[in-house]
Amino acid sequence: MKSTLQEFKTFAMRGNVIDLAVGVIIGAAFGKIVTSLVNDIIMPPIGKLLGNVDFKNLYWNLDPSKTLPGDIKPESLDKAREAGAAVIAYGQFINILIDFLLVAFCVFMLVKVINKLNRKKPEEAPAAEPTTRDCPYCLSAIPLAASKCSHCTSDVDPIGQAAKA
């Protein structure tokens, strides 16, 4: 039992889990901000342009026989639901769809900025070890391990130091 609790503590305190929790909390708060932006700032002017339409109250009544007391047809979505009518609330769907598109766009832009900040500059490949050296007598390129220059036939030290001529 103690082992399981220890494992859980290790799991819960890992950086990824805490980062995920913070992300979910901030995401929820950001979602509320975007929802308010859509419902309170973006949709009212669009509704005004479309003839004073309130998108929250756009719905199709699937049960026209349901009315409010006094045989009044429901004017708003809340009143239609209060009357017990089955409805398709397409206005709320439009609001939520725009809400989603804004959140998705903001997340896209955030990821794009983070990727740009994290982009590493291409590392230069380390210089290859030299396989040749210059002959100290004729300055021609010869293999490092050569003991005799193939061009001037001088004896050279295989370590790279000049030997006898």
Residue 124 located in a structural domain = no
Instruction: Answer yes or no: is 4 within a domain.
Output: no
Domain with 149 in it: 130-165
Q: Is residue 85, in this structure, part of any structural domain at all?
A: yes
Of 43, 62, 40, 41, the closest CA to residue 53 belongs to 43
Per the structure block, which two tokens stand in for 48?
């005004």
Does a structural domain hold residue 6? no
On whether both 76 and 28 belong to a single domain, the answer is yes
Question: 1 in a domain, yes or no?
Answer: no
pLDDT in tens, 79-120: 888 878 888 888 889 888 888 888 888 888 888 988 888 877
The yes-or-no verdict on residue 70 having pLDDT over 60 is no
C-alpha to C-alpha distance for 25 and 18, rounded to whole angstroms: 11
Written as one letter, the residue type at 123 is E
pTM of the model: 0.53
- β-strands 60-61, 141-143 pairing: unpaired
- pLDDT recorded at residue 46: 86
How many structural domains are present in the chain? 2
Q: What is the DSSP letter of 127?
A: P
pLDDT at 21: 83
And the tokens for 121? 């500059």
pLDDT score, position 162? 46
Find how far residue 98's CA is from the centre of its chain: 20
Q: Which residues contact 62 (CB under 8 A, 6 or more apart)?
A: 85, 86, 87, 88
